[in-house]
Structure 1
Amino acid sequence: MSFFSKIFSRDNPNAKMQSLYSAIVSEGRQLAWYEEAQVPDSIDGRFDMIAAIFSLVLIRLEKDDDQGQNLAWLTEIFIKDMDGQLRQIGIGDMIVGKHVGRMMGALGGRVGAYRDALEQGADLREAIVRNIFRGEQPDRAALDLLASRLTTYHAALQKCDTDSIIAGQLPASGPVA
């Protein structure tokens, strides 16, 4: 491919991350999160669950120093999707950017909270109440179930090789037991 072909190519360089993003969204939409772990089945609840899975994947991929560009592309896909979702529910052009900016801030906070909890020993249940249940104390059994399931999912991601993750081959979370 010539130099000019590369510069003016219509190929989307982040397309290789689309399979991973689709797998993250699919996992975040698994019914067991909502039915068994009592994550609110609402627009906010679905965002919170997808953001939780997205955060766990980012935490895993950050461990590979050469994944910086892929992480940027994955985040770009997330932003584009959130922008589209907001427009679809009727948020106007004038304020979509502000909403997306808040969502990105929320995502960054979640990544830090889940990293602290899962890798630094902070309280995961506290992070879950704040970031998934938005400060409302859920049923204790549901909270314990969700914490256990996120911990197990995080551990399963650590065992996956990077190429499989990038290809969208995420571990199955399975039903909550």
Structure 2
Amino acid sequence: MSFFSRIFSQDNPNEAMQPLYQAIVAEGRRLAWYEQGEVPDSIDGRFDMIAAIFSLVVIRLEDEREQAQNLAWLTEIFIRDMDGQIRQIGISDVVVGKHVGRMMGALGGRMGAYREALQGKEDLNEALIRNLYRGNSPGQSAVEFVATKIRLFETQLTELSSADIISGQLPVAAS
């Protein structure tokens, strides 16, 4: 492919990450998170659950240098989806950028908290209460359910190859 063909191509290279993003969203929308885990079934709750799954996938792949571009593309898809979701609920064009910026900041904070918790530097239950439940603990059994499933998902991710993850073959943690 020539230089000009690549520059002016209509192909979107981040589309290769679409199956992974769809798998992340599918996992984040599993009913068990909302029923047994009592994650609020709201716009914010769904964002927080998808952000948790997204974070675990990024944490798994970020140590592999060859995945840097794929992670950038995955993040672009996430941003594009969040932008579309915000517009769909009626937020005006003037403030969409601010909302997306806040969401990306929230994602970064959550990713840091989950990374610390999974490394044993912070309590996972506390990180979940603060980030997934936004400080409103639904009760010990619900938090324990989510913490157990998050740990299971993270463990199963480490057992998968990067190629499997990139292709969207994620484990099913919440069932």
Could you report, residue by residue, the CA deviation over 1:88-128 in whole angstroms, capped at 9, with x for unpaired residues?
00000010000000000000001100000002331001110
- How high is the TM-score relative to the length of structure 1? 0.97
SS of equivalent residue, structure 1 residue 163: helix
d(CA) in 2 for partners of 1:118 and 1:158?
A: 12
Q: What RMSD, in angstroms, separates the aligned Cα atoms of the two structures?
A: 0.8
Structure 2 CA distance for aligned equivalents of residues 27 and 113 of structure 1: 20
Which secondary structure does the structure 1 equivalent of 2:119 belong to?
helix
The alpha-carbon deviation at position 3 of structure 1 amounts to 1.8
Is residue 131 of structure 2 the alignment partner of residue 124 of structure 1? Answer: no
**Which residue of structure 2 aligns with residue 65 of structure 1?**
65
Aligned-residue offset at 1:66? 1.1
Is 2:74 the partner of 1:113?
Answer: no
Q: CA deviation at 1:174?
A: 4.3
- Name structure 2 gaps, 5 residues minimum: none
* Unpaired runs of at least 5, structure 1: none
Runs (4+) of structure 1 exceeding 6 A deviation are none
Q: What does residue 13 of structure 1 align with?
A: 13
Residue in 1 aligned with 2:34?
34
What aligned pairs does 1:150-161 form with structure 2 within 5 A after superposition? 150-161=150-161
Q: State the distance in 2 between where 1:152 and 1:63 align.
A: 20
Q: How far apart, CA to CA, are the structure 2 residues paired with 1:156 and 1:25?
A: 17
Query: Aligned residue for 1:100?
Result: 100
Q: Quick one: which amino acid aligns to residue 113 of structure 2?
A: A
